[in-house]
Structure 1
Amino acid sequence: MNPYQKIIDLLQSNSIAFDEIEHAPVFTSKEVQDVTGVPLHQGVKSLLIKSKLGFALFVLPGDARLDSKKIRKIIGASDFRFATPQEVEEIMGCAVGACYPFGDVCNTPMYIDTSVLKNTKISFNPGRHDTTITLALNDYQKIINSISADIIQT
């Protein structure tokens, strides 16, 4: 089953209301904002990283950047890199830029920036470049297994 269908099934099986917007393929957070009107801070990007300890997924606002020092400390590794397109496909079942904020769907530990948790809604790509899903943050928090941490540059 593809990640999009897994995410839809997860939301529906937990009776979570969500809005789904289909649009032309987009590849950046800014493009998502342009085609959907979703504010950058509400839209999240999910970045897969690899260290000597394995893979981890980091979820942050669309207008933010990861802080390398904070990531090293959080994962307990002195060095890490972003996953290659092939690794993203292998681990998450999607292309770079379509990563989704559900570590459990791909059996990957997930860290979510604390600033994301200040929103009332969350919007994301569900493993596809041509779709954006929006749902209430409190519903999202009920179905994820993550660690909240300060992971962005300030």
Structure 2
Amino acid sequence: MTNEDMIYQLLDELGIAYDCLEHEPIFSVIEAAEKGIVLPGQQVKNLFLKNKKGRQFYLVILRDEKTADIRRLAEVLGEKRLSFANSSDLERLLQVQPGAVTPFGLLFDREHRVQLIVDEDVDASQTVGFHPFVNHRTLNIAYTDFLRFLEKAEHPARRIRC
């Protein structure tokens, strides 16, 4: 079973409704807009970061139009410095390829090396869309259902201003 098949099965088991949207492969929400791909709900992006020593990782979700202040974020998280993690860390910890980063990969982080950060500007009353491990599909789900998924993945979201 592929990771993509596994996430559909898990969402079905949890009773989480989703819309699966097929589209050209996209690596960012900016690229989606450039290609004229319109996705429903609020658009978010995922940043995969690591601390200076490379021992703690952060998956940061924020609205697509926002730029994260990584220096400020490091201070808030009590880190000296944050930088983007490399593709091998991404594949090892979340079992996903660059360009398809998804919080669904938190299911594979059994050692809890990745902390999930959700920016305060992400509207909890709207839907959010994430890739199901491939970047030519987006699953749109209610934010409240996303929280239910996180409970199953044992990765609570920490909401802070990014």
Which range, TM-score by smaller chain? 0.7 to 0.9
> Using the alignment, how far apart are the partners of 1:89 and 1:115 within structure 2?
28
> Using the alignment, how far apart are the partners of 1:117 and 1:143 within structure 2?
17
Describe the SS at the equivalent of 1:117: coil
List runs of 5+ in structure 2 lacking aligned partners.
151-155
Using the TM superposition, give the Cα deviation of residue 2 of structure 1 relative to its aligned residue in structure 2, in angstroms: 4.4
| Percent of aligned pairs with the same amino acid | 26
Hey, what does 1:146 align to over in structure 2? 157
State the TM-score, normalizing by the size of structure 2. 0.80
Alpha-carbon distance change, 3 to 115 in structure 1, aligned in 2, over 3 angstroms: farther
Using the TM superposition, give the Cα deviation of residue 12 of structure 1 relative to its aligned residue in structure 2, in angstroms: 1.2
> Using the alignment, how far apart are the partners of 2:5 and 2:48 within structure 1?
20
Contact 2:103 2:130 in 1 (8 A): yes
State the TM-score, normalizing by the size of structure 1. 0.84
- After superposition, residues 1-154 of structure 1 pair within 5 angstroms as 2-33=2-33, 34-38=35-39, 42-51=42-51, 52=53, 53-102=55-104, 104-107=106-109, 108-144=114-150, 145-151=156-162
> Using the alignment, how far apart are the partners of 1:55 and 1:8 within structure 2?
26
> Using the alignment, how far apart are the partners of 1:131 and 1:94 within structure 2?
14
Provide the aligned C-alpha RMSD in A.
2.1
> Using the alignment, how far apart are the partners of 2:2 and 2:22 within structure 1?
17
> Using the alignment, how far apart are the partners of 2:84 and 2:66 within structure 1?
16
Describe the SS at the equivalent of 2:123: helix
Amino acid at match of 1:48: F
> Using the alignment, how far apart are the partners of 1:59 and 1:72 within structure 2?
15
Amino acid at match of 2:137: T
List runs of 5+ in structure 1 lacking aligned partners.
none
Alpha-carbon distance change, 110 to 22 in structure 1, aligned in 2, over 3 angstroms: same
Describe the SS at the equivalent of 2:103: coil
Aligned pairs, number: 150
Using the TM superposition, give the Cα deviation of residue 10 of structure 1 relative to its aligned residue in structure 2, in angstroms: 2.8
Runs of 4+ in 1 over 3 A off after TM superposition: 33-36
Stretch of structure 1 that moved more, 25-34 or 73-82? 25-34
Alpha-carbon distance change, 98 to 109 in structure 1, aligned in 2, over 3 angstroms: same
Alpha-carbon distance change, 114 to 6 in structure 1, aligned in 2, over 3 angstroms: farther
Using the TM superposition, give the Cα deviation of residue 118 of structure 1 relative to its aligned residue in structure 2, in angstroms: 4.4
> Using the alignment, how far apart are the partners of 1:138 and 1:99 within structure 2?
20
